[in-house]
Amino acid sequence: MRQTFGRLPALALCAALALPASAADLSTHAERSGFTETGRYDEVIALCDAFQQAYPQAVRCTDFGTTPQGRPMKALVASTSGALDAKTAHERGLPVLLAQGGIHAGEIDGKDAGFLLLRELLEGKTGAGVLDKVVLVFVPVFNVDGHENFRAWNRPNQRGPKEMGFRTTAQRYNLNRDYVKADSPEMQAMLDLVQRWDPLVTLDLHVTDGAKFRHDISITGEPTNSGDEALREAGRALKDGIVAKLATQGSLPLGFYPSFVVDDDPASGFVDDVSTPRFSHGYFQLRNRIGILVETHSWRTYPERVRATHDTVLDALELTAANAQHWLALAHAADARAARLGGRPVALDHKATDAVRTVDFLSYEYTRSPSEISGATMTRYDESKPQVWKLPLRDTIVPDTVVVAPKGGYFVPPEYAAMVARWLLQHGIDYRVLANSTSHVKVQAFVADKVEFAANSVEGHQRATVRGAWQDDTVGIAAGTLYVPIAQAKSRLLVNLLEPQAPDSMAAWGEFNNAFERKEYMEAYVAEEQARLMLARDPKLKAEFEKKLKDDPAFAKDPQARLEFFYRRHPAWDTGYNRYPVLRTDTVY
């Protein structure tokens, strides 16, 4: 039977792990404090080197980036197979598991749990043989500068440690909103690491907020409801397998994210979903890989949360080792299917149906009453009185917006090539630059009929919601145009970047807002003159205008809309307005 501190009660756990500083060179400040505190980043740097010195045949300490404040971004590669570089791991057919801690640096359970687990694995105290079959890439702290923005109360909804890092980077990026757009140097470094190692499984280690309840951890991820259908077998097996294992290790796990439909109202229940690729666990399924979101519960103590995270990473390693060749085969087959995605439907987003089931949810007795502080109705929990709630859960997930992928690929005109190429290169998506111009090329062009710009900035972007349709067109293609073929393994990610209606596309992040802004106008007195001339020489237009006046009262009462009716039919109309610059082609180049 493997040895794990997962079965110790919280108080015994604190006592067992309150180690003196001299007890082990590879212990952490968190362990020595009985998991009341967490160490600073200089400890990560020191431990990274110390693990490599102690286990030179099994651990490599690597720098994979530098933060805006000049700190090294550290990763530990661990394998007892001798595969300590990506090339060797791939040649030997070993799966790679990336455990990512501290993307939100105040949620730092993953750092302390990961160092403890790595030491136990290397000492042979747990997970016997697992590092022979899986390469572990452990990033103790992703948001390094945020980690060093260190103080108490950085996480006011969280019980411990005493002090911790901050949610965002030094540039105030939320890294778990940056996986697609990759604005931050930290994310660019992470995506380079991902591109190099191509992890079969990525664990993103978090601490959730939310109500006071007894569940200590939730495990969600994809592909389970989205992505390649055959690969969902592996995603579900990993997610459900971790939940099942945790339930035998003293945890009270959930297989859905426990956020109430109506904030602070338990009776509203839960709705499951598929996260968009700005989030880690929404991103990796578009690469035909598995992304698991690990969320310990903020109202559980730090020792309890570290224990649950430790067990989760160990469980994921053991499950990946046990299923390595089958899951790798499923992932590689998904790559091959993705290269044949042209002409096939692709879901851009998903939704829960109205189907409801009732779940048992472990929490406490509560009351809801008006607050004399805020005036709002507030929920107050009595942690001395455990209860089992019967709550509704909607977790039948279906595609919502669906497009048919182009049979050939996408054209990006030269004036946008550099901007789009930066996104494509960051994600390892192939493209080529056309050396010659071509006239009369049949394409599809997207013309928006409705664009809504966000009222507020999001991550430094003014996001846009674009509605419209692809229309057949014939255009000239200039030399210097990018041709991005659909026939590649990352075609799902490509579609989600370049289809303007995708929720985390380049268009949605505001990269093409200029195309959707009115740049030229016809003044009213000119429109009046031109309208009279147009009506006089075109009886069909006159009949159309009169019919619209009769059938559309709102139009008839709107002077601006009436003048625009003529402007849009006039040669002066700007045909580039609301025309998305990227084109689709059904021809393979």
The secondary structure of 62-114 as a DSSP string is EEEEE-TTSPEEEEEEE-TTS--SHHHHHHTT--EEEEEE-SSTT--HHHHHH
End-to-end CA distance of the chain: 58
Pair of tokens at residue 152: 């108490």
Mean pLDDT for the chain overall:
95
CB-CB neighbours of 513 under 10 Å: 16
Closest CA to 586 of 505, 469, 485: 485
Q: Is the separation of the CB atoms in 147 and 105 below 8 Å? A: yes
Phi then psi dihedrals of residue 537, to 5 deg: -100, 0
pLDDT band for 440, please (50, 70, 90 cuts). very high
One-letter amino acid of 115: F
Closest CA to 221 of 170, 180, 274: 274
pLDDT in tens, 292-334: 999 999 999 999 999 999 999 999 999 999 999 999 999 999 9
Tracing tokens 């740049």 back to the chain, one arrives at 519
Q: Averaged over 322-351, what is the pLDDT?
A: 98
Q: Tell me how far CA of residue 431 lies from CA of 192, 424, 521, in angstroms.
A: 18, 8, 37
Tell me what pLDDT residue 498 has.
98
What are the CA-CA distances from residue 68 to residues 45, 46, 144, 171 (Å)?
17, 21, 10, 8
Arithmetic mean of pLDDT, 25-54: 97
Domain made up of 5-209+297-340: CATH architecture: 3-Layer(aba) Sandwich (3.40)
Give the whole-angstrom CA distance, residue 494 versus residue 497. Answer: 5
Task: Give me the residues paired with residue 66 across strands.
Answer: 72
Model confidence pLDDT, tens digit, residues 241-273: 999 999 999 999 999 999 999 988 999 999 999
Rounded mean pLDDT of 203-227?
Answer: 95
DSSP 164: B
Going by C-alpha positions, the residue among 264, 292, 315 that lies closest to residue 130 is 315
- Tell me the one-letter amino acid at 250: G
Q: What is the mean pLDDT of residues 458-464?
A: 98
520: tokens are: 């030229």
Residue 238: predicted pLDDT: 98
Q: Is the pLDDT of residue 155 over 80?
A: yes
**Count of CA atoms in the C-beta half-sphere (13 A) of 405:** 28
Q: What does the alpha-carbon distance between residue 393 and residue 410 come to, in Å, rounded to a whole number?
A: 40
Confidence grade of residue 277 (pLDDT, cut at 50, 70, 90): very high
Size (the chain), residues: 589
CB 510 within 8 A of CB 451: no
Q: Rounded distance, CA 101 to CA 165, Å?
A: 12
pLDDT-derived band at 211 (thresholds 50, 70, 90) equals confident
Nearest Cα neighbor of 4 from 221, 307, 261, 359 is 307
| Distance from C-alpha of 484 to C-alpha of 411, rounded to nearest angstrom | 6
Strand, coil or helix: what is 360? strand
Residue that the structure tokens 């079959």 belong to: 133
Segment 165-200, tens digit of pLDDT? 999 999 999 999 999 999 999 999 999 999 999 999
Average pLDDT over residues 540-568: 96
Report the interhelical angle of 109-123 vs 302-322 (nearest 10°). 50
Task: Give the DSSP letter of residue 448.
Answer: E
What's the rounded Cα separation, in Å, for the pair 311 and 332?
28
Asked if pLDDT for residue 18 goes beyond 50, the answer is no
Give the H or E element holding residue 543: helix 539-551
- Whose tokens are 């995603």? That residue is 235
> CB–CB of 321/94 below 8 Å?
no
Residue 5, pLDDT > 50, answer no
How far apart (Å, rounded) are the C-alpha atoms in residues 246 and 573? 63
Q: From start to end of 345-376, where are the E strands?
A: 345-347, 350-352, 357-370
Provide the pLDDT for residue 19: 43
Task: Report how many helices (DSSP H) and strands (DSSP E) the chain contains, helices first.
Answer: 18, 21
Which segments of the chain belong to CATH 3.40.630? 5-209+297-340
Enter the tokens of residue 308: 């649950």
Answer yes or no: is pLDDT of 8 > 60: no
Residue 279 has pLDDT above 70, yes or no: yes
Q: Which residue type, as a one-letter code, is found at position 192?
A: D
Cα(585)–Cα(337) distance, integer angstroms = 20
Task: Give bridge partners of residue 137 from the DSSP assignment.
Answer: 77, 98
Strand 357-370 relative to strand 377-394, pairing: antiparallel
Q: Residue 476 has which token pair? A: 């000239």
Q: Is the predicted pLDDT of residue 10 greater than 60, yes or no?
A: no
| Nearest in space to 38 (alpha carbons), one of 129, 141, 124 | 141
Alpha helices in 248-339 (DSSP H): 280-283, 302-322, 324-338
pLDDT value of position 3: 38
Check pLDDT > 90 for residue 14.
Answer: no
pLDDT at 4 over 80: no
pLDDT digits (tens, 9 = 90+) for 480-531: 999 999 999 999 999 999 999 999 999 999 999 999 999 999 999 999 999 9
Query: Which pLDDT score is estimated for 209?
Result: 81
pTM for this prediction: 0.93
Question: Phi, psi (5° rounding) for residue 521?
Answer: -140, 155
Amino acid present at 247: A
In terms of Cα–Cα distance, which of 107, 111, 115 is closest to 50? Answer: 115
pLDDT value of position 179: 98
Task: Give me the pLDDT at residue 15, please.
Answer: 38
